Amino acid sequence: MSRLRIAVLGAGAWGTALAQAFADSHGVVLWGRDADHIEATRATGENARYLPGIRLHDALELTSDIHQAAAGADLHLVVTPLAGLRDTVRSLRHLQPGTPLIWACKGLEAQSGRLPHEIVGEELGSSAPCGVLTGPSFAAEVARGLPAAITLAAADADFARHWVHALHQPRLRLYANTDLVGCEIGGAIKNVMAIAAGVSDGMGFGLNARAALITRGLAEIARLAQAMGGQPETLMGLAGMGDLILTCTGDLSRNRRVGLALASGKRLADILRELGHVAEGVSTAREVVRLAGRHQVEMPICEAVNALLHDDLAARDVVERLLARDPKDE
């Protein structure tokens, strides 16, 4: 495997973790828009804001100049929050057009409800060489070199296979997929389900309730994915079931922590301020409900989470509403 130059664009927890994972095999430059944060990370050798206590690879380059990061790169890997994807891709269009692009953002764009690949298509055109990296992966574990397996999906099967081979690491295994819709729907909605799981656990409903919620949540995700052209089998893999289980059960999940805090009676604004990271499920919940309405897909768990987050309902009232639903066939 030849050594590549990879521009990782986004110096949050996941961007830093991926830069760390690829730095053993490739030349990696990590870009962040906050110059003070980048300088502090360079000076201390760790991303204390997002991954405290993890020593960064000595060969990792750091910059707050996106031109410097993108120039001469063989791959642009965008790992900003979803809200920053459009502006970052738009910048890349002018900096180094035609460079292969992979994004690792999950969610639905606020107001438009666009999936990440739709945003990229609008900015770069439908023929741009691109794909998504998604699946069950806590940044802190990947940054420490613990084993993980994720999916690289692209409409072009050759693109997916090529970059799976190029980026595959002994402890970060990649699997190719061509179902962009299914993979991105799985990655977006699992964050909403993780908030629900946190609420359930925080209210002491137990493991039976959590298992039921994850299972029924997966059914909701699969229904919407299929209505939008995704493949049901995708949701049985890493980008669906794998990501959902991890995010709903792992204590490192930011979205699960939001649910736990809501169950304790905390206000959402206070929770997000204390969290210090983006919890994509909060903004995604509203867009999922809108999307489900457009596609006439029933998604009661997502509707309940959206009501809890954005309609100022108490957690117990939302749970009671879910429990009061009529019985039906599975």
131 close to 160: Cβ distance less than 8 angstroms: yes
Give the whole-angstrom CA distance, residue 234 versus residue 1. Answer: 28
Task: Write out the DSSP string of 32-45.
Answer: -S-HHHHHHHHHHT
C-alpha pair distances (Å), 327 with each of 19, 131, 135, 271: 48, 40, 32, 34
Q: Return the residue matching tokens 């493991």.
A: 207
What order do you get walking across the sheet with 61-63 strand by strand? Answer: 61-63, 27-31, 5-9, 75-78, 101-103, 130-134, 148-153, 172-177
DSSP H or E stretch at residue 302? helix 300-310
Q: Rounded to a whole number, what is the distance in angstroms from the first to the last CA of the chain?
A: 47
Would you report the helix, strand and coil content of the chain in percent, each value rounded to 5?
55, 10, 35
Distance from C-alpha of 13 to C-alpha of 25, rounded to nearest angstrom: 20
Cα–Cα distance for residue pair 258/272, rounded to 1 Å: 8
Instruction: Verify whether residue 190 is a known catalytic residue.
Output: yes
Question: Between β-strands 75-78 and 101-103, what pairing exists: parallel, antiparallel or unpaired?
Answer: parallel
Which are the catalytic amino acids?
Answer: 190
